[in-house]
Amino acid sequence: MAMAEEEEKEVLRLPANARRSGGGTATQLDSSTLHLLKRRDDLNISLESFLALFSLCFIQHMLPAMHACCTEMMSKWEELVSEKGGSCELDVSPHLQNLAANVIARTAFGSSYEEGRRIFELQMQLASLVFRLSQSMSFPGRRFLPTKINKRIKAINNEVQILVRGVIDEREKAMKLGGAGDEDLLSVLLKANLREINEHANKNAGMSIDDVIKECKLMYFVGQETTAQLLVWAMIMLSLHPNWQTRAREEVQQVFGNNKPEYNGINHLKIVTMILNEILRLYPPAIMMYRVNHKETMLGDMVIPCGTNIMVPILFVHHDRDLWGEDSEEFNPERFSEGVAKATNKQASFLPFGWGPRICIGNNFAMLEAKMALVMILQHFSFELSPSYIHTPSFRVTLQPQNGAHIILHKI
């Protein structure tokens, strides 16, 4: 359904009567995997508790884990480059996916890092199988047929369920013995949940263990693939626009030199932020946002009946000439030089993390991780596109370069 700017804003504001609906591939990821489709208020946990998980204060504690993961990737790249005498060609896509997976495994599951990694691998296999399914003919009841793919999906779901359950059980035991600190998202989520239950003195308060499992699985899925793709496009665009790569590196040198990036410095990066915003505009990892209207609603002079599926095409909004001007298709981070509000003229035209009451709760986490990674890459390497790179953005759960991101790295 196409709609005017004011009406689009209205849709995004719909808090009371709108749920996030599933779209295509996403819904088929099995109801338990894509908990994204559930309302936060369905979770029986207050929004405050949920958001506390991602408060800036809490996220700061994640910085050492993010730094450790980036250092690991830098060491691997340095090794590859030195083996080839100072420069080497690499498809950076799997490396950046691995980085984002490591970050989420360490920050979400901390001490249970190994289990976290296995869960991630399984979730990726699942996404790929579901994507394959989405490309074939669909008919009612298809997912119940005992086909090879369906059996594999079921087996993966079971294994993930058992692994996550095991991690949660261990953590709950540690909490009872007073041994689990606030060092990772899982501990904070379980503690917030326990507080809810105690405060309401009601066994129906708080999230069920199944909900906690779903949240963990969701965290993996949405937290990894999206941030990885932001970094992949960042390396591609900075290769295509070496002047912006130089400007970003100059800023990084000015703020950090060759030192370890710290929180305050990261927050003061202006050029790097402008670049990331422009990449999120041109290549938003999530290209579509969904809502279902749960009660008849007036939108401008339109009546939206109950049960209507509404899609907000993030990608098209971000490329719209009327909203962004004649150069809407061009990479021009300068448009964000005075911040997002100025660039958008306060319209709801920049939606990489969604908008309104259902906005992505991991946005600060993702930006911190992306900045940390980009700063370290710029400190260690200059890079350019390989002649074998073909520019083919395509949608596969997220927006990604279909043939990978082949880049030549040079050690600085």
Residues at the site binding ligand HEM, with contacts judged by CB under 6 A: 20, 36, 40, 218-219, 222-223, 226-227, 230, 285-286, 289, 352-355, 358-362, 365-366
Q: Which is nearer to ligand HEM, 36 or 197 (CB)?
A: 36
Whose Cβ is closer to ligand HEM: residue 88's or residue 168's?
168
CB atoms within 10 A of CB 119: 27
Short-list 40, 8, 405, CA closest to 232: 405
Q: How far is the CB of 21 from ligand HEM (least distance, A)?
A: 10
CB-CB contact of 193 with 212 (8 Å): yes
HEC string of 341-396 equals HHHHCCCCCCCECECHHHCCCCHHHHHHHHHHHHHHHHHHEEEEECCCCCCCEEEE
Minimum distance from CB of 290 to ligand HEM (Å)?
7
Nearest CB to ligand HEM, comparing residues 97 and 382: 97
Count H helices, E strands: the chain?
Answer: 17, 10
Q: Which is nearer to ligand HEM, 324 or 365 (CB)?
A: 365
Closest separation in Å from C-beta 361 to ligand HEM: 5
Q: Which is nearer to ligand HEM, 104 or 385 (CB)?
A: 104
- Amino acid letter, 126: L
CB of 224 to ligand HEM, least distance (A): 8
Nearer to ligand HEM, 87 or 347 (CB): 347
219: tokens are 């965290």
Answer left, alpha or beta for residue 84, where phi above 0 means left and psi between -120 and 50 means alpha. alpha
Q: Which is nearer to ligand HEM, 289 or 317 (CB)?
A: 289
Q: Between the CA atoms of 167, 170, 176 and 181, what dihedral angle is there, to the nearest 10 degrees?
A: -60
Give me the least distance between CB of 150 and ligand HEM, in Å please: 26
Least CB distance to ligand HEM at residue 357 (A): 8
Minimum distance between the CB of residue 140 and ligand HEM, rounded to whole angstroms?
A: 27
Reference 90, options 102, 80, 101, 99; nearest CA is 80
We find the least distance from the C-beta atom of residue 258 to ligand HEM, in angstroms, to be 27
Q: How many Cβ atoms sit within 10 Å of the Cβ of residue 138?
A: 11
CB 187 within 8 A of CB 110: yes
Residue 180 in contact with residue 187, Cβ under 8 Å? yes
Q: For residue 396, what are its two tokens?
A: 């596969």
Q: Is 360 within any annotated ligand binding site?
A: yes
Beta sheet of 289-293, edge-to-edge order: 18-19, 289-293, 309-312
* Closer residue to ligand HEM, CB minimum distance, 352 or 404: 352
Give the residue numbers of the binding site for heme: 360
